Amino acid sequence: MRSLLYFLSVALVIGLAYWAYQQNLETQQALKRVTKLQDKIAATHEALAVQRAEWAYLNRPDRLRELAELNFGSLELLPMDPGHFGSIDEVSFPPLPGLSQDGVVRSASGSNGGRP
């Protein structure tokens, strides 16, 4: 009986050692994948920063103004000035449904709900 207990103990220790080794391998592989993903994220952030810098360079006001002047014949773009904008009073808004001209809310059915 004692030898069976020793055998089961040794088998259990070997099984646990194998399980721990497999967990270690999986952890190392996961860490490698994480490192690769972090490198890819860093490269993408760097590329995005470069593209933002290029966009800012290409959208300089003086460059855009010069391009608009060079291509005025085909694009007919004019420089913006405050005269191109209107005030809020000049905008005609459509009337809101259920609202009369005097600002009183009317019901959709036209009845007053049985009240005098």
Query: In the prediction, which pLDDT does 99 show?
Result: 66
For the chain, give the mean pLDDT.
86
pLDDT at 102 (0 to 100): 64
Return all residues near 115 (Cβ < 8 A) that are at least 6 apart.
none
pTM for the whole structure: 0.51
| More reliable by pLDDT, 54 or 67 | 54
Q: Which residues of 78-88 are buried (b: 16+ CB within 10 A; e: fewer)?
A: eeeeeeeeeee
40-76: burial string, b at 16+ Cβ within 10 Å, e else = eeeeeeeeeeeeeeeeeeeeeeeeeeeeeeeeeeeee
pLDDT above 60: residue 116: no
Residue 20: the pLDDT is 97
Domain boundaries, the chain: 2-76
Is residue 110 pLDDT above 60, yes or no? no
Tokens coding 32: 């490698």
45 pLDDT more than 90: yes
Q: Are 53 and 64 in contact (CB under 8 A)?
A: no
Which is more confident, 10 or 112?
10
15-31 average pLDDT score: 98
Alpha helices in 1-116 (DSSP H): 2-58, 61-70, 72-75
Q: What is the pLDDT of residue 104?
A: 63
Could you tell me which residue, 49 or 86, shows the higher pLDDT? Answer: 49
